[in-house]
Each structure stands twice: as C-alpha cells, then as structure tokens.
C-alpha cells in the first residue's frame, strides 16, 4: 500500500468508484498491526484502490472528516464517505467489510 499525498487523496476519492483509505501516525503501534491486516486483506481485492496517509500531514481534512483517533479506515464511493472505522478487529472482519462495499459500488 502506497502513501498518498493530500492531492492524490482528493484526486483518488473523486475519480475512483470505490477507494479505501487508511489513516495512521508513524509512532502508533496499533497502526502497524492494522496495516499488516490491511496488507493481507487488500490482496483479495486487487481491483479496489487502496491508499494510506499520515494524519500529521492532513490535519485540515482530519478535522473536516472528524478523525478521532488512529488507526482509522475510511471507504469512499464516488467521492462520498460511506464508512469510517477505528476497530479493525481481524482480517476476516475487513474482508467482510470490503466485500459488502464492493457489492454496493456503482459502476
């Protein structure tokens, strides 16, 4: 999963049908565990767009989207936030979440 810039984030969520965005901070231990779960799960959805951002560099968007803590995962569909989660729980949980949203995406 590649780190996006703020500009890439805005472009991706507005251009792609379904985008999964992972927000983190570098010193967060829980974020490292969450990223490993995401890396495993995203391999099962090669057609979805995945990106990640350090919230330290997008504080204005973090306030706008009311990101309360990290790790945070947001799912956007056609530029609109559809889901925001903080508890990643398990790979199985993430798989079900992505499958649910993948089935609802508008082509």
Task: Determine what percent of the chain falls in helix, strand and coil, rounding each to the nearest 5.
Answer: 45, 25, 30
C-alpha to C-alpha distance for 6 and 12, rounded to whole angstroms: 10
Of 10, 16, 17, 28, the catalytic one is 28
Out of 18, 20, 31, 53, the active site residue is: 31
28 annotated active-site: yes
**Residue 73 parent element (H or E):** strand 72-77
List, in order, residues 6 or more apart from 94 with CB less than 8 Å away.
Answer: 37, 38, 41, 73, 88
Known catalytic membership, residue 72: no
Instruction: Give catalytic residues, as residue numbers.
Output: 28, 31
């Amino acid at each position: 999963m590649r780190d996006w810039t703020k500009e890439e984030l805005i472009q991706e969520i507005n251009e792609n049908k379904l985008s999964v965005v992972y927000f983190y901070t570098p010193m967060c231990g829980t974020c490292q565990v969450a990223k490993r779960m995401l890396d495993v799960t995203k391999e099962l959805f090669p057609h979805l767009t995945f990106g990640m951002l350090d919230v330290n560099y997008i504080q204005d968007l973090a306030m706008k989207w009311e990101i309360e803590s990290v790790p945070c995962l947001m799912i956007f569909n056609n530029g609109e936030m559809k889901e925001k989660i903080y508890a990643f729980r398990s790979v199985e949980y993430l798989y079900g979440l992505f499958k649910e949203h993948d089935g609802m995406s508008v082509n």
